């Protein structure tokens, strides 16, 4: 078997052929003859030429490499040198090797594999050896291939390598070979989104410049281990205009981290990483460096890359994120009932995180939590680096997954919900306002936790059989009585009447009402703060709304003291309303519309002159969105005004809903507020407010892609993100105004004439040579907004693969 094929570095008529049995042949293409041959005693894996072609290096299956001197006159029977870098114990094969010369005289030896088989045989390593320094770069995913960037000029006497480029299965890594210590180069694109598995995401539009700069400054302090080298790979030039605003996409991860991504343009760029691990006691010390190695360590392993799929504790996983862009407050909730409130600090600090327990099963007897234990908070002061620093920890009991989260930075309140109930916490006074248990007596599954589902299958089967029996019994009750002739005549009349009325009323599917005994009815799906008319129509007050899995909506009236007495008087809450939807479908969204039927602005949005004050003169309306229907109620009486039965009409269920402002392409100041909706069929829809009229519907996500549908997040301007794989976000837009699309020119290789990648020549339309193509893609195909580039379009897909365009 031919294992390797290499062209002579200076004479293209000669090729080097390596066979698996250890034979290496130099073949003359013009004379069709063998010029030289070398025979190794070990199975061959790969070969390479030295730049001046005087030396050949072969690597073998026993973890060794051999140097062969080129001597056409006298055949060489033995190698000049044979070396097992990680011997003497049995080693894995060296599968690829580079032997590169330098002006200093000492070569670089770079190879893949060769690690000691017994202890490190499962590692994915590439070793670099030069001038007495040896490092085995340890990757957390399989290495697919690697190359070394060297002097481009073929007439140059030396290779002088300056960068090692490694394509791993989960990321692309570049290592600077010119800087002492060989540090990695920070990637400007193709970031590893899934360095730890993504568990949730949160989008914030139109970030104020001051907050943006503070986040970037905090992130830059985390990048000191990167090389100052400019990214050495270049290709095209972007034609996209500068983003009109600054957008953030926050991703929560299984290892307890939150990553802040610049989502303003096509490529997702990592700005800052927040870790919540320091707050808790875990098996590993947060201060220790995973890449730190002692001087006597052998092999000299150094972990590189950001992909790290292993989590110290699954309870650290982030489930909900809420960021206030005006105040800089951030709320983060996790798998074990932990809710952290953080604020942005430009300096490092050391302080204790205050802990408060919220017992959601207070005064409830007979319940016993069978799931995981809570995370133990670290006692005493904790050191925090610049950035978002936690100052209070609210621990829910039982420590179930936090299923909903809301933050109101103007009132300094944070609300949280689990499968057992919800609570309200005053993070200014650091005290609990109230807790409300929503657990139904039959909700035993809610007490088992996400890691205990042994009995759930039996219970779900029992419930399925009960529903079948109930539906059969109800159909028997509805069966008409009387002689067969009368029954037949009545049914035929009913058929005719139905056919006549078919054009007048849309066909509605029969939706069976859910039983109150169904599991997880107390599961809190959504929380919402609003300043509206809750008690009477004469005065409005702060309020908190909560929707559950069983179709129940709770409304609490809040009394927030004025600013001058905010620290002296407590925040008070009293339940004012409770709405039970007849169909008992899970409530997935709650929204209050002002007197102009416009959604209420975000907290502090009016104070920063970024939104008009809500109309408090006209009557407000409450919109409750369940999985099956949209329903508008008048406030404060809570009388039903109108509804849209989505499931009955289309057979789909609502999975995600968000109010969005759809701006006009022609009139800068004109915009309309509507609902962006994602269903379980993968369709995205726009539904008008307040009349609930379906406007458009597009097929967006495959209905079989359950994880993609669950990961979807809408923006405030009609765009959306969802995971098409664990490592890729797809971006889509329902708005004609807000559309982010990849636009770039790619120059062919023949027209590039670069001496070093440091001096980038990105190419332009004026280049005389080469082929210039525009890469233009959008979800909606040909669009007028593409302008003059339309005639040269080459469609290449629209995925955001790790933050870059495919």
- Do residues 61 and 46 make contact, with C-beta atoms less than 8 angstroms apart? no
Q: Which of 111, 107, 110, 108 is nearest to 91 (CA)?
A: 111
Please state whether beta strands 81-83 and 65-69 pair in parallel, antiparallel, or not at all (unpaired): antiparallel
Please compute the mean of the pLDDT values over residues 48-67 and round it to a whole number.
93
**Residue 295 clears pLDDT 70, i.e. is over it:** no
The model's pLDDT over 588-614, given as tens digits with 9 standing for 90+, comes to 999 999 999 999 999 999 888 888 899
What is the model's pLDDT at position 296? 64
pLDDT confidence of residue 601:
93
Range with the poorest average pLDDT among 345-354, 468-477, 479-488, 767-776: 767-776
pLDDT at 618 > cutoff 90: no
Q: How confident is the model at residue 251 (pLDDT cuts 50, 70, 90)?
A: very high
- CA 436/CA 433 separation, integer angstroms: 10
Report which of 779, 783, 775 is spatially closest to residue 805, judged by C-alpha positions.
775
Cis status of the peptide bond prior to 88, with omega within 30 of 0: yes
- The CA-atom distances, in angstroms, between 751 and each of 754, 762, 772 are 10, 11, 10
Q: How many CB atoms neighbour CB 743 within 10 A?
A: 21
Residues 92 and 254: their CA atoms lie apart, in Å, by 33
Give the whole-angstrom CA distance, residue 445 versus residue 367: 11
- Hey, is 696 helix, strand or coil? strand
pLDDT band at 487 (very low <50, low <70, confident <90, very high): very low
Q: How many CA atoms lie within 13 A of 749 on its CB side?
A: 2
Residue 609, sorted as left (phi over 0), alpha (psi -120 to 50) or beta, turns out to be left
Flag whether pLDDT at 765 surpasses 70: no
**Listed range (149-163, 366-380, 507-521, 701-715) with the worst mean pLDDT:** 507-521
DSSP class of 121: T
pLDDT value of position 770: 31
Q: How far apart are CA 77 and CA 404, in angstroms?
A: 73
Distance, CA of 550 to CA of 393 (rounded, Å): 29
pLDDT band at 504 (very low <50, low <70, confident <90, very high): very low
CA–CA separation, 540 and 560 (whole Å): 12
CA distance 284 to 275: 14
Whether 99 contacts 93, CB under 8 Å: no
396 Cβ neighbours under 8 A, 6+ residues apart = 337, 338, 339, 358, 360, 402, 416, 418, 420, 423
Strand-pair partners of 109: 99, 129
Digit-coded pLDDT (tens) for 537-595? 889 999 999 999 999 999 999 999 999 999 999 999 999 999 999 989 999 999 999 99
Q: What is the largest CA-CA distance in the chain?
A: 113
Phi-psi region at 307: left, alpha or beta (left = phi > 0; alpha = psi -120 to 50): beta
Angstrom distance (rounded) from CA 645 to CA 328? 39
CB-based contact 631:674 (threshold 8 Å): no
**Position with higher pLDDT, 639 vs 454:** 639
Q: State the pLDDT at residue 659.
A: 96
Per-residue CA distances from 173 to 140, 152, 234 (Å): 12, 21, 15
Residue 516, judged by CB atoms within 10 A of its CB (0-12, 13-18, 19+), counts as middle
The answer on pLDDT for 19 being more than 70 is yes
Give the pLDDT score at 297: 81
Share of the chain above pLDDT 70, in %: 81
**CB burial of residue 105 (10 Å; 0-12, 13-18, 19+):** exposed
Q: Over 80: is that where the pLDDT of 90 sits?
A: yes
| pLDDT (mean) for 190-211 | 93
Residue 779 scores a pLDDT above 80: no
Token reading at 459: 């219970």
What's the pLDDT tens digit per position in 704-720? 999 999 999 999 999 99
**pLDDT at residue 756 in the model:** 39
Residue 230, pLDDT above cutoff 60: yes
State the pLDDT at residue 473.
56
Percentage of residues in the chain with pLDDT exceeding 90?
Answer: 64
Please give the pLDDT value at position 707: 94
Q: Which of the pair, 484 or 165, is modelled with greater confidence?
A: 165
Place of tokens 């709304």: 545
CA separation for the pair 280, 303 (Å, rounded): 24
What pLDDT, on a 0 to 100 scale, did the predictor assign at position 308?
A: 86
Q: Report pLDDT for 649.
A: 83
Nearest to 330 by CA among 246, 436, 252, 222: 252
Residue 800 has pLDDT above 60, yes or no: no
Cα–Cα dist 796/780, whole Å: 14
Sign, CA torsion 33/38/41/47: negative
Q: Specify the range with the lowest mean pLDDT, choosing from 235-244, 312-321, 501-510.
A: 501-510
Res 56 pLDDT > 60? yes
User: Which pTM value belongs to this model?
Assistant: 0.84
pLDDT at 24 over 60: yes
CA triplet 548, 550, 556: central angle to 5 degrees?
A: 40
Question: Residue 591 has which token pair?
Answer: 């929204």
- When the pLDDT of each residue in the chain is averaged and rounded to a whole number, the result is 84
DSSP assignments along 680-692, one per residue: TTSEEEEEETTT-
- Residue 292 is predicted with a pLDDT of 47
Q: What share of the chain is helix, strand, coil (3-state, %, to 5)?
A: 10, 40, 50
What local confidence, expressed as pLDDT, does residue 465 receive? 60
The whole-number pLDDT of residue 470 equals: 60
Q: What pLDDT, on a 0 to 100 scale, did the predictor assign at position 792? A: 33
- Characterize the bridge pairing of strands 172-176 and 2-7: unpaired
Element (H, E) at 7: strand 2-7
């Amino acid at each position: 078997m031919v294992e390797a094929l290499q062209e002579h570095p200076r004479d293209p008529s000669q090729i080097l052929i390596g066979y698996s049995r250890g034979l290496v042949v130099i073949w003359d293409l013009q004379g069709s003859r063998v010029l030289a041959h070398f025979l190794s005693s070990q199975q061959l894996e790969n070969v390479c030429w030295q730049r001046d072609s005087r030396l050949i290096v072969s690597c073998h299956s026993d973890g060794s490499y051999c140097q062969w001197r080129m001597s056409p006159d006298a055949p060489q029977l033995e190698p000049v040198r044979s070396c097992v870098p990680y011997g003497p114990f049995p080693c894995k094969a060296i599968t690829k090797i580079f032997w590169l010369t330098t002006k200093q005289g000492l070569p670089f030896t770079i190879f893949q594999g060769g690690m000691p088989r017994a202890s490190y045989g499962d590692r994915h390593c590439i070793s670099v050896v030069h001038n007495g320094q040896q490092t085995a770069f340890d990757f957390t995913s399989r290495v697919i291939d690697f190359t070394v960037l060297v002097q481009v000029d073929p007439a140059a006497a030396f290779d002088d390598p300056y960068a090692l480029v490694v394509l791993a299965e989960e990321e692309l890594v570049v290592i600077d070979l010119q800087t002492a210590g060989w540090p990695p180069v920070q990637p400007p694109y193709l970031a590893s989104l899934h360095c730890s598995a993504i568990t949730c995401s949160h989008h914030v539009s139109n970030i104020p410049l001051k907050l943006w700069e503070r986040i970037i400054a905090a992130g830059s302090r985390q990048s000191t281990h990167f090389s100052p080298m400019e990214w050495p790979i270049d290709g095209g030039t972007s034609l996209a205009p500068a983003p009109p605003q600054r957008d953030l996409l926050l991703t929560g991860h299984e290892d307890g981290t939150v990553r802040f991504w610049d989502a303003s343009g096509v490529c997702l760029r990592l700005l800052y990483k927040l870790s919540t691990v320091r707050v808790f006691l875990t098996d590993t010390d947060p201060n220790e460096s995973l890449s730190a190695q002692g001087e006597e360590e052998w092999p000299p392993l150094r972990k590189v890359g950001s992909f790290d799929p292993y989590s110290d504790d699954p309870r650290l996983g982030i489930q909900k994120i809420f960021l206030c862009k005006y105040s800089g407050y951030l709320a983060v909730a996790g798998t074990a009932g932990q809710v952290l409130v953080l604020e942005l600090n430009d300096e490092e600090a050391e302080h204790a995180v205050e802990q408060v327990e919220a017992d959601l099963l207070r005064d409830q007897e007979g319940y016993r939590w069978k799931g995981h234990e809570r995370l133990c908070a670290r006692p005493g002061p904790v050191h925090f680096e610049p950035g978002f620093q936690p100052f209070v920890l609210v621990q829910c009991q039982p420590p179930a997954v936090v299923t909903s989260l809301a933050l109101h930075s103007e009132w300094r309140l944070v609300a949280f919900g689990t499968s057992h109930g919800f609570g309200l916490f005053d993070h200014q006074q650091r005290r609990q306002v109230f807790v409300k248990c929503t657990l139904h007596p039959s909700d035993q599954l809610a007490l088992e936790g996400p890691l205990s589902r042994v009995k759930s299958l039996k219970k779900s089967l029992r419930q399925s059989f009960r529903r079948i029996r109930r539906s059969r019994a109800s159909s028997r009750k509805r069966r008409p009585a009387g002689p067969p002739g009368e029954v037949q005549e009545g049914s035929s009349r009913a058929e005719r009447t139905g056919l006549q009325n078919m054009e007048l009323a849309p066909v509605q599917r029969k939706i069976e009402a859910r039983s109150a005994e169904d599991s997880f009815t107390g599961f809190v799906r959504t929380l919402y703060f609003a300043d509206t008319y809750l008690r009477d129509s004469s005065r409005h007050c702060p309020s908190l709304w909560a929707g559950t899995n069983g179709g129940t909506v709770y409304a609490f009236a809040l009394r927030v003291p004025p600013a001058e007495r905010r620290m002296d008087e407590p925040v008070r809450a009293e339940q004012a309303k409770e709405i039970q939807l007849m169909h008992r479908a899970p409530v997935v969204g709650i929204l209050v519309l002002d007197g102009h039927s416009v959604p209420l602005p975000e907290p502090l949005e009016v104070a920063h002159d970024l939104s008009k004050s809500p109309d408090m003169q006209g009557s407000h309306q409450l919109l409750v969105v369940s999985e099956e229907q949209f329903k508008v109620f008048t406030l404060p009486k809570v009388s039903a005004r109108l509804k849209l039965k989505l499931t009955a009409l289309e057979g789909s269920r609502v999975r995600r809903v968000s109010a969005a402002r759809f701006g006009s392409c022609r009139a800068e100041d004109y915009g309309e507020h509507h609902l962006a909706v994602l269903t379980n069929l993968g369709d995205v829809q726009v539904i008008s407010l307040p009349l609930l009229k379906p406007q458009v519907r597009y097929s967006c996500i495959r209905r079989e892609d359950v994880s993609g549908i669950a990961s979807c997040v809408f923006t405030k301007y009609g765009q959306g993100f969802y995971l098409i794989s664990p490592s890729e976000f797809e971006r889509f837009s329902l708005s004609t105004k807000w559309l982010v699309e990849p636009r770039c020119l790619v120059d062919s290789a023949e027209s590039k004439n670069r001496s070093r990648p440091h001096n980038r020549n990105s190419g332009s339309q004026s280049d005389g040579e080469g082929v210039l193509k525009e890469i233009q893609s959008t979800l909606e195909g040909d669009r007028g907004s593409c302008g003059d580039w339309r005639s040269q379009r080459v469609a290449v897909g629209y995925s955001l693969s790790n933050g870059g365009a495919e």
